[in-house]
Structure 1
Amino acid sequence: MTDRTLTATRHTHSQGALVLAVAGELDHHTAPEFTRVVQETPFGPDAPVLIDASGLTYCDSTGITVFVSAYQRAQKTGTRLFVVGLNADLTRVFGIVGLDQLFTFQPTVDDAINALRA
């Protein structure tokens, strides 16, 4: 049996963006942790949210649902939302399910911060 581990944390970047870092395997068993962090994050127009997925190694449909719920909250609250650091396999999965039409992707947190200034 595979050890399913996930860490999900939030911190504020020095430029004011809220960074939600998610690392490990995001699936049915671990999604509640990431869901909790998303729900506890104060979305609003004054603080962009960056989901740092650079440490994410796996994401199933339950995990995708958490990403979609973050997108929906961002839309309702006028929050700028970026997904950063997706590996090639997850970028392909996100594209297949159409999430590339919802999210703005950036390779790194710094790239997303620079895009916010543009």
Structure 2
Amino acid sequence: QHFTLAKAQFASMLALPTRLLNNGTLKSALAMTLRRRASTAKLPRGNSEELGFYYRHPGSVTRSQMLMMEGFGAFMWFYVLYHTYHYPQYVIGHPDYPNPRKWTDAELGIPPA
């Protein structure tokens, strides 16, 4: 009985979209929306710089600037990977962390009672 009730509710929820789809109203509304989105997504023809398309021009990068950036990136990754391999305690922590339960009152600075 529960299954037939759920099936009836599902069928009633699909009634309106099915009716609109059969009439063609939903199809035309969907097509109009897609057309509108596609028309606003078109880029203007021509050079975007001539049309003033950029807010800020990114500029051009020379060969020497590109080599400097690549060299800096290579050095940075070398530094990170080298220190991760040779000094893993900086990444995963020190394995010999002291147990605070073994500390005495004198070590904690608590005066004797």
For the aligned pair, the TM-score class normalised by the smaller chain equals under 0.3
Higher relative contact order (CA 8 A, sep 6+): 1
Larger CA Rg, structure 1 vs 2 = 2
Q: TM-score, normalised by structure 2?
A: 0.19
Q: Pick the structure with more helix per residue.
A: 2
Higher strand share: 1
